[in-house]
Amino acid sequence: MSTRSRVAAVRERFGDLDSLLVTSLPNIRYLTGFTGSNAMVLITRRKAVLFTDPRYTLQSVAETAGSGVEARTVKGPLELTVVKKLKGLRKVGFESGTIGYASWEHFAKAAPLEPSKGLVETLRMVKSEDEIAAIRASVDTNSQAFAAAIGRFRFGMSELDLAAEIDYQMRLLGAEKPAFETIVAFKANSALPHARPGAAKIDRNGLLLIDMGSFRGGYASDMTRCLHLGAPAAKTRQLYRAVLEAQLAAIDAVRPGVKAGSIDKAARGTLEKHGLAKAFVHSTGHGLGLEIHETPRIGKGDKTKLASGMAITIEPGAYLRGQGGVRIEDTVLVTPTGVEILTPTPKQLTIL
């Protein structure tokens, strides 16, 4: 879908709105192509205008070309200009998930507002061919960065050293930046699903969990792999096998028309069978694209139906205090007939 048809698709979803005020920057990028850090877009039945500040005059005109959105530079706070433009509108949809209370109050004085959370996000769930190509490139870059960083691993490096190496390799390979703070968690830290890398030295014996993602061409990738320093104990191998089995079962369940919740059930059911139900403390996955976390959420009871063109992660995990944690995560694509695993990195437990 081109940016021009995206604006048209938004209008088709207006319902009884006569306009939509877009304040989420990823939504603005999706609809207009604009990549700057300060903008608001007002879409009415007849027109779509992007307001930005003088730092972005040239960039906004260049990036929005062909989107059907007119770029306009304003001086001073964007809100003041937008408030003026809202006057006379009958029912303005606004992005209730991203707008602050003070801004809402300001806008609400100018025109009747109606929360329209998720209007653009729903469109963003199914990716175009160009977006899928961008996600593929991002995933490949991310996996190459992982391989390069592991190749440079030395015993005694800290979690932070390895995280820095990963981020450095990503950028050398063409990523703009990490898609989130890279997680490198050794031994007991690996039992914390969202650990921050610290000064802990990665030396002998223990699980090493790495969760990393890149932004390339604006699109995110996301992967988790576990390695082991020294020979793993039998119970660690068992834990790893159980999580891998859950991950494969969830991937196997992915196809168009299936509810997101049933993918989660496939992973959760497998871990339950291994007595690890309580050790799996998060959802099975999430959509990704211009943001690292997008709808659909691949979580318990989620009724969103998967559709061809959705890019999602599959990342079950099991976390045992004292022993460590295992998570295995791939970025996958829902295809017309099932699923394609985009992440090329092998999934056996690598021993360092």
Contact positions vs Zn ion (CB under 5 A): 211, 222, 224, 313, 329
Nearer to Zn ion by Cβ, of 194 and 235: the residue is: 194
CB of residue 315 to Zn ion, shortest distance in Å: 5
Distance from the Cα of residue 64 to its chain's centroid: 23
Report the candidate in 222, 196, 199, 198 with the shortest Cα–Cα distance to residue 211: 222
Q: Between residues 259 and 293, which has the closer beta carbon with respect to Zn ion?
A: 293
CB of 352 to Zn ion, least distance (A): 20
CA distance 210 to 230: 17
Q: For residue 350, what are the β-bridge partners? A: 227
Q: How far is the CB of 235 from Zn ion (least distance, A)?
A: 25
Q: Which is nearer to Zn ion, 224 or 295 (CB)?
A: 224
Q: Of the candidates 272, 273, 267, which has an alpha carbon nearest to the alpha carbon of residue 298?
A: 267
Choice between 68 and 316, CB closer to Zn ion: 316
Nearer to Zn ion, 167 or 211 (CB): 211
Query: Nearest approach, Cβ of 25 to Zn ion (angstroms)?
Result: 20
Please state, in angstroms and as integers, the Cα–Cα distance from residue 78 to each residue in 75, 86, 89, 102, following that order.
8, 12, 18, 14
Give the tokens for residue 99: 């707008």
Question: Which of residues 104 and 180 has its CB atom nearest to Zn ion in the complex?
Answer: 180
Helices (H) and strands (E) in the chain, counts: 10, 20
CB of 154 to Zn ion, least distance (A): 24
Give min distance, CB of 289 to Zn ion, in A: 13
What is the smallest separation between the CB atom of 331 and Zn ion, expressed in angstroms?
A: 8
CB of 261 to Zn ion, least distance (A): 17
Q: Three-state SS string across 23-87, please?
A: CCHHHHHHHHCCCCCCEEEEEECCCEEEEECHHHHHHHHHHHCCCCCEEEECCCCHHHHHHHHHC
Minimum distance, C-beta of residue 135 to Zn ion, in the bound complex (Å): 13
- Residue 291 vs 329, nearer CB to Zn ion: 329
Rounded to whole angstroms, the Cα distance separating 237 from 224 reads 17
Location of structure tokens 């706070």: 77
Nearer to Zn ion, 222 or 294 (CB): 222
* 165 versus 330: smaller Cβ distance to Zn ion: 330
For residues 297 and 157, what is the distance between their CA atoms, to the nearest angstrom? 35
Distance CA 109, CA 87 (A): 9
Cβ(111)–Cβ(92) below 8 Å: yes
| 3-state DSSP assignment of residue 285 | strand
| Token duo for residue 274 | 């291994």
